[in-house]
Structure 1
Amino acid sequence: MNQRLCLAVVAILSSLSLAACTSLPTSSSPSPFDVDAPNAQPVDLAAGGPVADADPESLLSSFLLACAAGASDDYATARLFLTSSSAQTWDPHKLVTIYSTDSTPKVSYSFDPSKTDTLNASITATGVGSVDQNGVLSPAETSSLEARFHLVRENGQWRIDAPADGVVVSQASFTASHELVSLMFLSATGDSLIADPRWYPTRRVETHMLEGLIAGPQSHLSDALVNAIPSGTSISAGGIELSDHVAKVSLNGTLPSDDRGKQLMAWEISQTLQRSGRVNSVEINVGGEALPSSGLPSQPSFDLDSAVALNSNGLVRIDGRSVSTRILPITPSSSASLPAVSPVSSSLLAWREDDRLVLVDSSTNATRVVDGSEGQYSPSIDRFGWVWDIPRGGNLRASRIDGQNLAIASENQSLNGVSAVRVSPDGARALLLRQVGGSTSAWIAGIERRGSGEPIALTDPEPLAGLSTGVDDVSWAGRSTVVAVRQGGLRAGNDQMDEVSLVTVPVGGFPSVLALPTGTQRLSAGSSSATMVIRGKDGNYQVRSGALWQSLEGNLRDVNFPG
């Protein structure tokens, strides 16, 4: 049963939940840490219309409450606060500007004493980000946001005239009424579905997801992903019928010409709608013809929770608390460091020896040495067998054990200053550590590939929320979550922090921050943020074990999970 709560209550609940969080341990003794848990139920916000003879301050405050509740009533209440002409033209869906729940918006007014029926108001607050009409979240470009309003008297009552398209809401209100969901688009290789994250209103979320899927990938991924739904497809009048967790989808349009195309279309739609959390199975009808619901492709499998490391015996594999030495066609030299392993085959490995990159496939006994590898971070191996590193002179390089080397560039941006690259398990995205303006930040880019999986280029990198400065290391935790070690950062109110933080960022989502043990410099994660190893500046490692941080014994160095 939905709860109808006012914005003030949501803000209070949010602050209480933040206060209840515990910190990660700051010593080697085992201590509990927080684990994300899904919300039990969506919150349905509600707001009232304008009160007769309300003053400008009360009217504007009530309008903001109505905007926060707008996803529940399609902004019908919010329009009541506008002049009659503005109510017809205002587009609240164009942009949602989000401010920090921890900040208090400040309202200021200006007016001409000679004009008693008009005044201007502005609202400033700590900016978090914005979500466009396609559901794509962009981090705030500055720490402060400002919204301006023009108020006039209409029929003796104050009303807002000609507001900018879009709404301004707190993060607590936004996350109470919207969901972060994944639209699943086909990879260029045709063997995998890749998540394209979007924020949609919880109300009618399945319809929003299907509309977004038909429209295609967000613009910066359009060259990296493929839409299996033919152009010109639309949702029929019947739309989506949801009953007993079964979604019945009715579409207008032309079917793909072959059986493979029909399977891929059904796979894309089914996997997308099942990520709403309310759909277990999907039945699809296009122009009166049913798409297949069985025998659909399956996602590639990954082995992400077995790490590699070096010790006095050579290169070892770590499974939980078990450590075993790998039998390889060549033995790592005494200068070996920074090992990496494939996310799909434990036989493909790589490591650094001084400025050389060593590639080994234990299943075929093949080896290769690539000169000119630089930096303090391990290479990254993608699921197609390409080993990514930073070559002498900068930028990016991808190498294969069969002798191929590729220089990887971005479409429109220079990759100068990149110190590390981490390819996602599905091979669709790359995390980059970059030196920008004297500080290290984390960026994300899509990877364009040929049908064979060969990388062609990166899409233009975009900054990751919460990771614009002080980032020491970054890792994938599964296919679509990023974890990072950040030194310092900003509290609410822009106060500088000194502690070391674990920043967790779902791709397309908001960052969350927890404290890490003092001195933490490196991390690597497996299939989730619950499978993680951290290294302090003393060289010692700690791992997550259930609800604990525990020391990792065995004189290990350079521990890394696959990827």
Structure 2
Amino acid sequence: MYIPRLTVLVAACALSLAGCSTLATDTKPQFLRSYEPTASEEPEVGPQPGQEPDLLLREFFSASAIPTGDYAAARAFLAPSIRQTWAPDGNTLVVNAVDITTVFDSSNSNRRVFTVRGSVIGTLEEGGSYLPENGAYEAEITMEKIQGEWRVTDLPQNVVIERTELRNQYQPQNLYFYESTGSSLIADRRWIFSGENSLNTELVTMIMEGPSARIKPAVADIVPRDAIFAGMEGGVYRFTGMADMDESQRRRFAAQLVWTLSNAGVPGPYSATADGTNLVPDVELLTTDDFVEFNPRTSADSVPALYAVIDANVHSVMGNEATPVAGPLGASGEVQSAEVSANGVIAAVRVSGNGKSQLVIGELGGPLIESIEGRTLSRPSLEHDRDAAWIVVDGTTVVRLVPSSDKNRIVEREVNTSALEGIPGEISVLRLSPAGARVAMIIDGRIFTGVVTRVSPGETRIVNVHELATELGGTALTLDWQPDGSLIVGTSTPEAPVWRLEQDGSSLSMLPAGNITAPVVSIAANRSTIYATDARTMLQFSPSETDAVFWREVPGLQGLRAAPIVAD
């Protein structure tokens, strides 16, 4: 029997990054507990009579993006002899495009062999998580004429879909889990088949199954191991196995449930019970208004203050005026970079007396505490709702800095970055996500993201590191998180200076180039506006204005080459 050749070369895995190995994938809903939702409607997809083999093979790959009925749509293109025995190994590879060429075979006019090639850009993991990859796919597929119609008779035991089919057949949705300290909800992005008729119950089932492997190290799972989603009855979400959860724990789970459903567009209010009683005691109908303190998109629903570094001083930008902040950071002319939090904490890198760079932390306009020095220091990144700052020293060492309880000194602790071993180059940019569960870095012009795990109060690690946006070819100069969890990236490429990158790496889109001039060396964003420093000045752009193609100068900063700071 002919054995198909299959080659998947993933360059990112050669870096030996933590979590880089491809995990088994099954895009069918995974219901490991007692609840079974209504089956999805079977799409009417299948081979056309008299179809040429190459065209039929292309439609087979399109049908492979439909997971319902154990890939019933794709099986319709297979010969009866293998239709039931084809057992995809679980890996759903996403390729940029499928290229099909014929392997010459003149011995049998009723048999054709095709070589299928494509550039691997990602993998759909179990539960719908997208894992970016960078490699090559190659396989041979045999087709034969059976009763006058071409059918596939030999193929690899895996599922391959094109990028366009991922977009056509699946929709990204966010599940929400608590980050490790339990203070806020963070998004766990999943791709769910669009033909799923019970989106709400699918989302709840996924919540009960827990976070994806990629984000799990940063998450505190509050659901008891024996808890079960028992389905819906009369519009009520029913759970069991939660008898040992106290009122506070039930309320926190309810917030997780409500925000996941609400942000997926499932209309509320919601009714839920646990072991026969209201999930939240004395509350029959749950709405997002009941859990505003856990809103995972709080920063997206408010407009943070804007600051800028101008002529090595920090300024507050308000209305049409830029005003130096009080204290030495607004007047010394020594500031190289800075970060400001929503609660008024500032971390700044300034030139020290010995010519090195030094980090200082304090309150805006208040006294500053001197901290670590280095040949180079990256722009600091502050943890959300905490005074802790992260910084990269001399391009190699990541340090977490926390003020002491008496606020008189800074405690410096090195972050474990062993997951970065094998990646050549220095870290030029490091930015924490709004909730502090993820980190984005630029290393030698390439973009990497990782997950922050807190092993103990004094030990923090970056794990599950993956390279994103390899299409940019090492041209990235700056990046920052947007409130919706995506990244904005500034590059040295004149034709495409600014890009938007999804947090899971599944999509990279160019923002209008208009009048912005590379290199873009600094960037920041709030819910409505992107700020960027190009080769000439500081500009702003509003993505919500769909017909906008030009960047505008920031009022109060016209003609000034300033570095933006969004206080979030």
- Structure 2 length normalisation: TM-score? 0.77
2:426 is aligned to: 417
Q: Which residue of 2 is the match for residue 136 of structure 1? A: 129
- SS of the residue corresponding to residue 500 of structure 1 reads coil
Residue 193 (structure 2) aligns with:
201
- Whether the 8 Å contact between 2:499 and 2:510 is mirrored in structure 1 is yes
Partner of 2:29: none
Q: Distance in 2 between matches of 1:47 and 1:66?
A: 10
Which residue number in structure 2 is paired with residue 472 of structure 1? Answer: 477
* Match runs of 1:266-345 below 5 Å: 266-292=254-280, 293=286, 295-296=290-291, 297-299=293-295, 301-302=298-299, 305-311=304-310, 314-319=313-318, 321-328=320-327, 332-342=331-341, 344-345=342-343
Paired amino acid for 1:400: V
Question: How big is the shift at 1:457?
Answer: 1.1
Q: Match for residue 380 of structure 2?
A: 379
Quick one: which of 109, 117, 120 aligns to 1:124?
117
Q: 1:178 pairs with 151, 170, 184, which one?
A: 170
- Which residue, out of 445, 459, 462, partners 2:466? 462
After TM superposition, list the pairs within 5 Å mapping 1:397-476 onto structure 2: 397-402=399-404, 403-414=410-421, 417-435=426-444, 440-449=445-454, 456-465=460-469, 466-476=471-481
- Structure 1 distance, partners of 2:319, 2:456, is 36
Amino acid of the structure 1 residue aligned with 2:186 = I
8 Å Cα contact 1:98/1:168 also seen in 2: yes
Match of 2:509 among 497, 501, 512: 512
1:557 has 2:562 as partner: yes
- Distance change in 2, residues 1:284/1:169 (3 Å): same
CA contact (8 A) 1:375 1:419 kept: no
Asked if 2 retains the 8 angstrom alpha-carbon contact of 1:367 and 1:401, the reply is: no
Residues of 2 paired with 1:99 and 1:471: CA distance?
Answer: 23
Equivalent pairs, count: 492
Match of 1:161 among 150, 153, 162: 153
Query: Which of the residues 531, 534, 551 maps onto 1:536?
Result: 534
Kept in 1, the 8 Å contact 2:95–2:122? The answer is: yes
Distance (whole Å) between structure 2 residues aligned to residue 91 and residue 502 of structure 1 = 43
CA RMSD, 1 decimal? 3.3
- Distance in 1 between the 2:171 and 2:270 partners? 20
**Any stretches of 5+ residues in structure 2 without a counterpart?**
1-40, 281-285, 405-409
Q: CA deviation at 1:194?
A: 0.7
Alpha-carbon spacing, 1:378–1:45, altered in 2? closer, same or farther (3 Å): farther
In the aligned structure 1, how far is the partner of 2:365 from the partner of 2:279? 42
Distance 1:557 1:221, change over 3 A: same
The alignment status of 1:86 with 2:82, answered yes or no, reads yes
CA-to-partner distance for each residue in 1:30-88, whole Å, 9 max, x for gaps? Answer: xxxxxxxxxxxxxx9965423456553343233234334x2577632322222335333
Match of 1:492 in 2: none
The one-character-per-residue Cα deviations of 1:104-147 (angstroms, maximum 9, x if unpaired) are x43223366556665432222444433223212223412x5334
| Cα distance between partner residues in 1 of 2:215 and 2:186 | 10
Asked if the contact 1:304–1:478 (Cα under 8 Å) also holds between the matched residues in 2, the reply is no
Alignment deviations for residues 378-422 of structure 1 (CA, whole Å, 9 cap, x no partner): 211122211111114722011123321110123533376212211
The aligned amino acid for 1:133 is E
Residue of structure 1 in register with 2:11 after alignment: none
Q: Please give the secondary structure, in 2, of the residue aligned with 1:264.
A: helix
The CA distance in 2 between the partners of 1:89 and 1:213, in whole Å, is 32
Amino acid at match of 1:511: L
Distance 1:347 1:140 in 2: 38
| Separation (CA, whole Å) in 2 of partners of 1:500 and 1:58 | 35
Moved more, 197-206 or 119-128: 119-128
> Moved runs in structure 1, 4+ residues, more than 6 A?
none
The CA distance in 2 between the partners of 1:316 and 1:84, in whole Å, is 72
Select between 150-159 and 268-277 the one with higher mean Cα deviation.
150-159
Distance 1:193 1:154, change over 3 A: same
Q: Which runs of 5+ in 1 are unaligned?
A: 1-43, 489-497
In 2: Cα distance, 1:95 partner to 1:206 partner: 26
CA contact (8 A) 2:179 2:435 kept: no
Partner of 1:7: none
For the 8 Å contact 2:179–2:185, the answer to whether it is kept is yes
How far, CA to CA, are the matches of 2:524 and 2:329 in structure 1?
A: 27
- For the structure 1 residues 111 and 192, does the alpha-carbon distance in structure 2 shift closer, same or farther, using more than 3 Å as the test? same
Which residue of structure 2 aligns with residue 365 of structure 1? 366
Residue 14 of structure 2 is matched in structure 1 by none
| Matched-pair contact (CA < 8 Å) for 1:118–1:153 | yes
The percentage of counterpart residues that share the same residue type is 19
- Give the corresponding residue for 2:102: 109
Q: Is 1:500 paired with 2:464?
A: no
* Inter-partner Cα distance in structure 2 for 1:162 and 1:249: 45
Output the amino acid matched with 2:123: S
Question: Are 1:349 and 1:360, in contact at CA under 8 Å, matched by a contact in 2?
Answer: yes
Q: d(CA) in 1 for partners of 2:375 and 2:464?
A: 23
Give the residue type in structure 1 aligned to 2:416. A
Distance 1:311 1:203 in 2: 52
Instruction: Write out per-residue CA displacement over residues 235-280 of structure 1, whole angstroms, 9 at most, x where no aligned residue.
Output: 33xx357x9xxx6323343444322221222222222122222333
**Per the alignment, in what secondary structure is the counterpart of residue 499 of structure 1?**
coil
Greater shift, 80-89 or 405-414, is seen at 80-89
8 Å CA contact retained: 1:50, 1:59? yes
The 2-side partners of 1:499 and 1:442 are apart by 19
1: CA distance, partners of 2:195 / 2:89: 14
| Residue type of the alignment partner of 2:262 | Q
2:241 is matched with: 253
In 2, Cα distance between equivalents of 1:240 and 1:320 = 51
Q: Does the 8 Å CA contact 1:381/1:562 hold for their aligned counterparts? A: no
